[in-house]
Amino acid sequence: MNKNLLALAAVVLLAVVAPMVIPISIANEIIVIAIFAMATNLVIGVAGLYSFGQAMFFGAGAYLTGYSLTAGGLSLVPSILIAIAGAAALAGIVGAVIIRRSGFYFMMLTFAFNQMAFYVVLVWSGVTGGEDGMAGIKRAPVGGLDLNDRSVFYAFCAVLFVASYVILRQIKKSPLGLVLEAAKENPRRMASLGYSVHGAQLAAFMISGAFAGLAGSLYVLLYRFVPIDSISWIMSGNVVFMVVIGGMSSMVGPIMGAAVFVWLQGLFSLLWAQWALLFGLFIIFVVFTLRGGLIELFKRVARIRRAGEAHHG
Amino acid sequence: MNLVAAQIVNGLAIGMLYAVMALGLSIIKGLLNVPNFAHGALFAVGAYVCYTLSTIGAPFAVALIGAFSGAALLGFLIERFGIANLTGGSYLLQVLFLFGTALVIEQILVLIYGTTGVSLVPPAMLGGAMDLGFMFLPRYLVFCALVGAFSIVAVWLLIEKTRIGSSIRAGIERREMVQCLGIDIGTLLTLGFALGAGMAGLAGGIALPLLGANATSGNDMMAIAFVVLVLGGLGSLYGAVAAGILIGVAQSLTTLVAPSASTLLIYVIMTVVLLIGPKGLFGER
């Protein structure tokens, strides 16, 4: 219980302190992408379903928000709600087709559906803007709050970020989360104990899709633009990378992973236009060095320090 | 009628490309049990090697051999120095490694060749069309189908009729037992990956005069190859071949009625097959 409160306090502190120590636009992107990473951790880390198509839901949220705000003429809150519902529905449809597949199959199918979504967006350029993306998005005021103010918009995202953390962590600890984790170890036994394994997995997939949609929606509001990259498979790979480097054992890990990703992306893009090359090399480097995620790295550093202290003492 | 016949030939040619791609994936999946997310990048490597060799004046056949060898060599390096060193860790690390490798390969291609993409006119011998009396048949499509079929038969012979092929089959079946018999499984896995990668490169080379290439054009191919693999059924090495041809022909015929829906059709077929026959068309182990 204490530990839970401590983790929550750390997450809130992070959201409050981040814009003070780093540029607020970067801090804002971090907390938005962190929602996406936590959502992905629900399927990958908790349920053990290796989804390589998460950008499909992030992108669905992004495009739905963009469309609702521009052509749809809706206000901000309904646009975000539509993004969440639409992404969850898409996850429900895709999930219903593929949830019975596991491991290798699941990975390939999520990727294939992601590519299909990308293709639809690319071809349907009259609505989506195709390769150029969707521009001209405005942040309409919400209940008297002027979201065009950077700090107000950050606070708006930060509240949703902390709420997402709390909800996703509670889901991880809920009976649903326990069924998912147990089914990851032994799906047959859980099924013979009378749990609906596929039902639980589909629910997790849809919840993950909903939060990915929320993240996509906020991302679009942040940049007032929907890039086609938001639905490309590279985005799906990136978020898997965030979850893996952050560590999958808690919802704090993906937040760290997202922070590292956004920070590195910014750094590499300053260094060289070909930043994706540096990023790819970094992924390869990390895969070989950090096998247990950042959390494992911290533990390792702590162990070394403790060993050092013991040595000196 | 003529139009239908022409589209069937077109579909056979494209389908052969899918089949070559998917058979490569299938071998890699069978031996190493990883979805090769670098398959699309290797396809692009094959296309660019073929392009470079052709522009410096090499005969097209040499360019195709180069496409296969270049991608196979890369595959060899990827397996030997990458995947082989990651077997102890989480499965996801191997997948992420392949993802990172795909990014690096694509970006290096962009660095060398730019983002605009390249195309190649097929050699004079393969250009133009044959007059069959009732229709004109582009020579290159026939060539494409034949080379695809030929390479699939070659791989089949290699796997079914040679000593190394029987080791590969045994490795897919029971990896530990193969090791117990004193066969170097590490080398076998590396060779298997290189072969699969080479097939992706070959498909890229063959596809170049047909579709052109840019650094990311392999990703669509990879997605389709994944679908083909799932449709064929993961258990059977050759189910992918039949499924690839089937998809190619179905896609080509759709272009007659609804051109923009032809790529979507692939995913519709996949969804329907998964819903009614979850094991794919040719079974799953």
Flag the least confident range among A146-160, A219-233, B78-92: B78-92
Cβ–Cβ gap A50/B95 under 8 Å = yes
> How many Cα atoms within 13 Å fall on the side-chain side of residue B25?
36
The residue of chain A with its CA nearest to that of B26 is: A104
- pLDDT confidence bin for B265, thresholds 50/70/90: confident
Task: Give the pLDDT band (50/70/90) at residue A145.
Answer: confident
What chain B residue is nearest to A100 in terms of C-alpha separation? B278
Q: In b/e form, how buried is each residue of B239-268, taking b as 16+ CB within 10 angstroms?
A: bbbbbbbbbbbbbbbbbeeeeeebbbbbbe
Within a domain: B281: no
Mutate to test the interface with B, among A283, A285, A286, A291 (most CBs of B within 10 A): A283
Q: Assess if residue A307 is contained within a domain.
A: no
Residues 6+ apart with CB under 8 A from B132: none
- Give A9-24 pLDDT, tens digit per residue: 888 888 888 888 888 9
Q: pLDDT at position B279, please? A: 66
Which residues of A are less than 8 Å from B263 in CB distance? 119, 123
- CB contact under 8 Å between A108 and B96, yes or no, is no
The average pLDDT across A71-91 equals 93
Contacts of A162 (CB under 8 A, 6+ apart): A8, A11, A12, A15
Set of chain A residues whose Cβ sits within 8 Å of the Cβ of B110: 274
Establish if A274 belongs to a structural domain: no
Residue A95 within a domain: yes
Q: pTM score, two decimals?
A: 0.87
Separation between Cα atoms, residue B210 and residue B13, nearest integer Å: 10
The crossing angle, in degrees rounded to 10, of helices B185-211 and B163-173 is: 100
CATH code of the domain containing B10: 1.10.3470
Question: Does residue A112 fall inside a structural domain?
Answer: yes
Looking at the structure of chain B, the number of domains it has is: 1
Residue A277 has its nearest CB partner, among B91, B107, B263, at: B107
Decide if B284 is inside a domain: no
Long-range CB contacts (within 8 A, 24+) of B274-281:
B274/A97, B274/A98, B274/A101, B274/A109, B274/B230, B275/A97, B278/A100, B278/A101, B279/B233, B280/B230, B280/B231, B280/B232, B280/B233, B280/B234, B280/B239, B280/B243, B281/B231, B281/B232, B281/B233, B281/B239, B281/B242, B281/B243, B281/B246
Instruction: Give tens-digit pLDDT for B42-53.
Output: 999 999 999 999
| Count of structural domains, chain A | 1
What domain range includes position A118?
21-232
pLDDT band at A61 (very low <50, low <70, confident <90, very high): very high
- Give this complex's ipTM: 0.84
Give residues with Cβ within 8 angstroms of A13, minimum separation 6.
Answer: none
In a domain? residue B211: yes
Chain A residues with CB-CB distance to B37 below 8 A? 52, 111, 237
| Cβ atoms A175, A48 nearer than 8 A | no
Q: Given a cut of 90, is residue B109 above it in pLDDT?
A: yes
Give the pLDDT confidence of A257-267 residue by residue, as tens digits: 999 999 888 88
Range of the domain at B118: 2-276
Q: Is B73 inside a domain boundary? A: yes
